Amino acid sequence: MRKILIISLFVLIQNYLAYSQFEAVKNFQKEIIKKEITGSNVVMIFKDGKVVFFNAENSNLIGDKKINNQSYKPYQETLFPIWSMSKPITVVSIMILVEKGLIKLDDNVSKYLPEFSQIYCKGNSGKYLCKKPLKIIHLLTHRSGFGYYSHKGYGYGLTSTIKYDNLNDFSKDLSKVVLEFEPGEKYYYGVNQALLGRVVEVVSKRNFYEFLKEEIFGPLEMSETKFYLTQDDRSRFQPLYINFGTIKGFTTELDELTYEESNAAYFGGEGLISTMNDYSNFCLMLLNGGIYKGKRIISERSIGIMTKKYSSSYPEEEFADTRKLGFNYGFSMFVLDDPIVDGTGSTKGIYGWSGYHGTHFWIDPIKKMFGLFMSRHRQNISNIDIQKELRKIIYKNTN
């Protein structure tokens, strides 16, 4: 009996130490609510084969939703629009096709989407017929010349489920957009992964969502990651907290995407919803070199290709994110190249991405760790970079 008590006490102490070292993370979560930067938010830290920290901090504000403070509860978890964290999933779908020998990174996009046989670039005297072809790798690396386009001049915007109900029409319209420069010339963040979803459809002869379910979501047990919301889902869908100019509060009026089940415009750059549990399975697969519970999704070599340097950070790339100094860019992934410039204590080689409404993840292959943050907010641009501040706290408090 005494031996059992000693062992139990040891386990309790170990658990206390593990969680107490992340007390600063909890305080940070509370602080960004107090400062009216986010509503309810949740953090997960996985290290050395287990979840070492999981905490949902609820705002308890009128209009907000309470996030369940227990992980791994399918059909009870909060659903978040992950926006650009859809992109790494789309990238993995392309790498699956590459590994199957169905597509090559250097292929011309027009091989699969003939509407891109004739594309135009911006010049000093107006548009001209591009001299270089648009390639698959240009889309993967955001070196295509496509940007993001405001509603003005494009109806509801190009990646819109109000304007489109399929990717074929979207692709044909996008082919008429004049590129900012010759394909491959510069880094310029844009709608590229949305177009890659259409490439997947043509190559695989399946709609994009079906491909993702069969090749990624099914094997990774990501049953709640999808492009739509049922009526029941909407009760778990995190409302947007906005604090922008004179507008402050929670709303569903600025969802921007309809999330209707009948809509087949499956935008792989911004359209997915997910949960902490689901997306953590995706992170775990990447951390494990492409394997999840013994099932190989992609090869370790493919992850190496995805996280290789294709573009430098600002100011070498004039259109790169000025908040990501010290980082290179892979296949829609930031990859830390200079930890001193980054200044957070993060490990060289970490990689990840973020989403428009306040979702973030990064993978640390050296420390066998990943971090995942989910909230839903839109802020003035002067507000803090949550992911950077979170990494600073976590790396200060982990070995």
Q: Where are the domains of the chain?
A: 36-94+207-396, 103-204
pTM listed for this prediction: 0.93
Distance CA 391, CA 381 (A): 19
Using alpha carbons, select from 138, 154, 263 the residue that is nearest to residue 195. 138
Spatial contact of 262 and 104, defined as CB atoms under 8 Å apart: no
Instruction: Please list, in sequence order, all residues whose beta carbon lies within 8 angstroms of the beta carbon of residue 217, skipping any fewer than 6 positions away.
Output: 223, 225, 226, 278
- In the numeric block, which tokens belong to residue 257? 């995407």
Q: What are phi and psi of 285, to 5 degrees?
A: -60, -45
pLDDT for the residue 5 = 46
pLDDT for the residue 105 = 98
pLDDT for the residue 227 = 98
Long-range contacts, 210-218 (Cβ 8 Å, 24+): 211/93, 212/89, 212/93, 212/266, 215/93, 215/96, 215/297, 216/89, 216/92, 216/93, 216/96, 216/282, 216/297, 217/278
Q: What is the CA radius of gyration of the chain?
A: 21
Pairing relationship of beta strands 377-379 and 240-244 according to DSSP bridges: parallel
Where is 16: in which H helix or E strand?
helix 2-20
Spatial contact of 339 and 124, defined as CB atoms under 8 Å apart: no
Q: Which residue has the tokens 């600073």?
A: 392
Spans in the chain with pLDDT lower than 50? 4-14, 16-17, 72, 152-156
pLDDT for the residue 16 = 45
pLDDT for the residue 2 = 53
pLDDT for the residue 245 = 81
Question: What is the CATH number that goes with domain 36-94+207-396?
Answer: 3.40.710.10
pLDDT for the residue 154 = 39
Task: Please report, as a single letter, which amino acid is at residue 150.
Answer: S
pLDDT for the residue 183 = 98
pLDDT for the residue 254 = 87
